[in-house]
């Protein structure tokens, strides 16, 4: 059966890294007969330049019609303005909310070959395998009212609203409890319940739901402490669940424990398991066009896509093994380079993963 995969390269390094994941998918399609039908559409700045809007109707329609989506990254100084890319109904946030992709899974796994590239000492990170479950279509990124207004005294004021409804909290908590059930039975919920009522409700609901998951040990942590604990003793965590903004920030911090944000893939899932897959990083304008971006987070996101949305577990395993094999060979893009390894560019890394697929 044909499986439609929509590629959304986006901006900056987006097209460079998606091209490498596309190579890998095409190679597997040819050798394994996966039945993938790949197509490409514009989103973000590329779409603004082509058609004036960051999320064209035909891109959203193609995303809705696809079985799965692989996105590179969007944005850049040219387009990061309120009118163009930032508003929730537009661009990437519009895509996430339009497809109701509320469950964002961000696994932070340290490949043993990269222990030397982690920001932490090898003994603190060896064997690290954390899953951050981030709520993706609510919270302060979407809450209304929002904007910039002029007060009576003439001063301007920016404002956003941090809201979560009970149903939004319950559905993301369910994702996290179920993930913890399948893993080590440990779930840490991260909030700011000492200050924000919205997270007092979050905490209350998590406690209530914990009764239905007696085999999961639920703990709570304030987000400031969680940030500190992540860089102090990250292996105390197994599954972490948190809201949109805290998850955004904590997952970038967790990325560095694995050596680079260029190593962190993600899955954004709806209630039925349909998903968009993307690296956790952005469009990296500082290195765009230089052919040095790490494509592995995107290639690993493609593996997650095959596993979670397309039921192609063997093909997903092959990609993950191939990534490990190229790291064994000592190949490194500059972000994960350390002495004694071989520095390669984006395309060389992608080619090496393709070559390792059937090794
Ligand atoms: N999912 C998305 O599409 C996201 C988009 N953005 C957008 O990306 C643009 C740049 O944002 P930044 O804050 O600079 O974050 P960023 O994640 O793009 O870059 C942060 C740093 O990490 C490096 N980096 C990122 N990905 C890398 C890779 N694959 N290989 C090697 N190095 C890598 C960059 O060179 C930069 O030094 C902005 O327009 C932002 O809004 C940011 C985060 C996520
Ligand atoms: C639009 C931003 C929330 C993108 C981002 O930083 C992320 O998803 O990690
Ligand atoms: Mg982010």
- Whether 284 lines ligand 1, by a CB cut-off of 6 Å, is yes
Strands 186-191 and 68-73 come out as unpaired
Pocket of ligand 2 (CB under 6 A): 92-93, 248, 280, 282
Check whether residue 1 and residue 87 sit in a common domain: yes
Check whether residue 160 and residue 67 sit in a common domain: no
What does the pLDDT look like over 88-112, one tens digit per residue? Answer: 567 899 999 999 999 999 999 999 9
Contacts of 211 (CB under 8 A, 6+ apart): none
Buried b (16+ CB within 10 A) or exposed e, 83-102: ebbbebebbbbbbbbbbbbb
**Where residue 278 falls among pLDDT bands split at 50, 70, 90?**
very high
Strands 275-277 and 267-269 come out as antiparallel
**186, 238 Cβ separation under 8 angstroms:** yes
- Whether 301 lines ligand 1, by a CB cut-off of 6 Å, is no
Q: Running DSSP on this structure, what letter comes out for residue 24?
A: H
Domain membership flag for residue 252: yes
What does the pLDDT look like over 132-163, one tens digit per residue? Answer: 999 999 999 999 999 999 999 999 999 999 99
- Residue 82: its pLDDT value, please? 66
Of 257, 273, 290, the position where a domain reaches its end is 257
- Whether 281 lines ligand 1, by a CB cut-off of 6 Å, is yes
Res 181 pLDDT > 90? yes
Domain membership flag for residue 123: no
Q: Which atom of ligand 2 is nearest to the CA of 248?
A: 9
Check whether residue 253 and residue 133 sit in a common domain: yes
Q: Running DSSP on this structure, what letter comes out for residue 200?
A: H
Domain membership flag for residue 211: yes
Check whether residue 143 and residue 181 sit in a common domain: yes
Let me know if 248 is a catalytic residue.
yes
What does the pLDDT look like over 241-265, one tens digit per residue? Answer: 999 999 999 999 999 999 999 999 9
**278, 96 Cβ separation under 8 angstroms:** no
- Residue 83: its pLDDT value, please? 63
**Where residue 80 falls among pLDDT bands split at 50, 70, 90?**
confident
| Cα-to-centroid distance, 23 and ligand 3 (Å) | 25
What does the pLDDT look like over 4-47, one tens digit per residue? Answer: 999 999 999 999 999 999 999 999 999 999 999 999 999 999 99
Domain membership flag for residue 59: yes
Candidate from 72-81, 289-298, 309-318 with smallest mean pLDDT? 72-81
Check whether residue 291 and residue 232 sit in a common domain: no
Domain membership flag for residue 28: yes
Check whether residue 310 and residue 347 sit in a common domain: yes
Stronger pLDDT, 336 or 117, i.e. the higher one: 336
- Whether 85 lines ligand 1, by a CB cut-off of 6 Å, is no
CA dihedral for 62, 67, 71, 75, sign (positive or negative)? positive
Domain membership flag for residue 121: no
Percent of the chain scoring above 90 in pLDDT: 91
Domain membership flag for residue 102: yes
For 118, the token pair is: 């982690």
Check whether residue 107 and residue 164 sit in a common domain: no
Q: How big is the CA angle at 242 (ends 180 and 175), to the nearest 5 degrees?
A: 40
What does the pLDDT look like over 45-58, one tens digit per residue? Answer: 999 999 988 999 99
Q: Which of 351, 338, 337, 333 is nearest to 13 (CA)?
A: 333
CATH number at residue 252: 3.40.718.10
**209, 173 Cβ separation under 8 angstroms:** yes
- Between CA 53 and CA 45 the distance in angstroms is 8
- Residue 325: its pLDDT value, please? 98
- Residue 358: its pLDDT value, please? 81
Check whether residue 68 and residue 168 sit in a common domain: no
Longest dimension (CA), the chain: 69
Q: Which atom of ligand 1 is nearest to the CA of 77?
A: 39
Check whether residue 225 and residue 288 sit in a common domain: no
Catalytic residue among 192, 238, 277, 318: 192
Of 213, 237, 257, the position where a domain reaches its end is 257
Check whether residue 243 and residue 328 sit in a common domain: no
- Between CA 191 and CA 199 the distance in angstroms is 6
Check whether residue 98 and residue 135 sit in a common domain: no
Contacts of 181 (CB under 8 A, 6+ apart): 213, 215, 216
- Between CA 303 and CA 352 the distance in angstroms is 16
- Residue 211: its pLDDT value, please? 98
- Residue 86: its pLDDT value, please? 62
- Between CA 157 and CA 159 the distance in angstroms is 6
Q: Which atom of ligand 1 is nearest to the CA of 10?
A: 3
- Residue 50: its pLDDT value, please? 93
User: Can you tell me the ipTM of this complex?
Assistant: 0.99
**175, 271 Cβ separation under 8 angstroms:** no
**109, 258 Cβ separation under 8 angstroms:** yes
Domain membership flag for residue 204: yes
> What average pLDDT does range 117-142 have in this prediction?
94
Res 81 pLDDT > 90? no
- Residue 345: its pLDDT value, please? 98
Q: Which of 19, 71, 10, 86 is nearest to 42 (CA)?
A: 10
Q: Which of 222, 203, 229 is nearest to 124 (CA)?
A: 229
Q: Which helix (H) or strand (E) holds 351?
A: helix 346-356
Q: Which of 13, 104, 283 to mutate to test the pocket of ligand 1 (most atoms within 8 A of CB)?
A: 283
Domain of residue 270: give its range: 1-116+264-359
Q: Which atom of ligand 2 is nearest to the CA of 280?
A: 9
Q: How many domains does the chain have?
A: 2
Let me know if 192 is a catalytic residue.
yes
N-to-C CA span, the chain: 27
Of 257, 272, 296, the position where a domain reaches its end is 257
Check whether residue 243 and residue 143 sit in a common domain: yes
- Residue 87: its pLDDT value, please? 65
Percent of the chain scoring above 70 in pLDDT: 98
Q: If you average pLDDT over every residue of the chain, what do you get?
A: 95
Q: Which of 75, 92, 95, 140 to mutate to test the pocket of ligand 2 (most atoms within 8 A of CB)?
A: 92
Q: Which of 220, 301, 228 is nearest to 267 (CA)?
A: 301
- Whether 262 lines ligand 1, by a CB cut-off of 6 Å, is yes
- Whether 92 lines ligand 1, by a CB cut-off of 6 Å, is yes
Res 165 pLDDT > 70? yes
Q: Which of 281, 336, 349 to mutate to test the pocket of ligand 1 (most atoms within 8 A of CB)?
A: 281
């Amino acid at each position: 059966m044909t499986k439609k995969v929509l590629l959304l390269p986006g901006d900056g390094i987006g097209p460079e890294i998606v091209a490498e994941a596309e190579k890998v998918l095409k190679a597997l399609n040819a050798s394994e007969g996966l039945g993938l039908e790949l197509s490409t559409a514009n989103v973000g700045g590329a779409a603004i330049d082509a058609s004036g809007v960051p999320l064209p109707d035909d891109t959203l329609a193609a995303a809705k019609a696809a079985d799965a989506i692989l996105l590179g990254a969007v944005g850049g100084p040219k387009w990061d303005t309120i009118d163009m890319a930032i508003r929730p109904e537009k661009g990437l946030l519009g895509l996430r909310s339009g497809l109701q992709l509320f469950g964002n899974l961000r696994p932070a796994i340290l490949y043993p070959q990269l222990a030397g590239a982690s920001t932490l000492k090898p003994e603190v990170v060896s064997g690290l395998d954390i899953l951050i479950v981030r709520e993706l279509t609510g919270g302060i990124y979407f809450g209304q009212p929002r904007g910039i207004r002029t007060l009576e005294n003439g001063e301007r004021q920016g404002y956003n609203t941090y809201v979560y409804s009970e149903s939004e909290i319950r559905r993301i908590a369910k994702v996290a409890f179920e993930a913890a059930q399948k893993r080590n039975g440990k779930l840490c919920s991260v909030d700011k319940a000492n200050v924000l009522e919205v997270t007092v409700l979050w905490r209350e609901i998590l406690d209530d739901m914990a009764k239905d998951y007696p085999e999961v040990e639920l703990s709570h942590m304030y987000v400031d402490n969680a940030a500190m604990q992540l860089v102090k003793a990250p292996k105390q965590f197994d599954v972490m669940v948190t809201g949109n903004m805290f998850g955004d920030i904590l997952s970038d911090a967790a990325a560095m424990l694995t050596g680079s944000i260029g190593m962190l893939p993600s899955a954004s899932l709806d209630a039925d398991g349909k998903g968009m897959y993307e690296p956790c990083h952005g469009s990296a304008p500082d290195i765009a066009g230089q052919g040095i971006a790490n494509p592995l987070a995107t290639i690993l996101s493609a593996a997650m896509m095959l596993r979670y949305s397309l039921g192609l577990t063997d093909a997903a395993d092959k990609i993950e093994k191939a990534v490990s094999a190229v790291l064994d060979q000592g190949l490194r893009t500059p972000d994960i380079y350390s002495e004694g390894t071989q520095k390669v560019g984006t395309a060389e890394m992608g080619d090496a993963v393709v070559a390792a697929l059937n090794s």
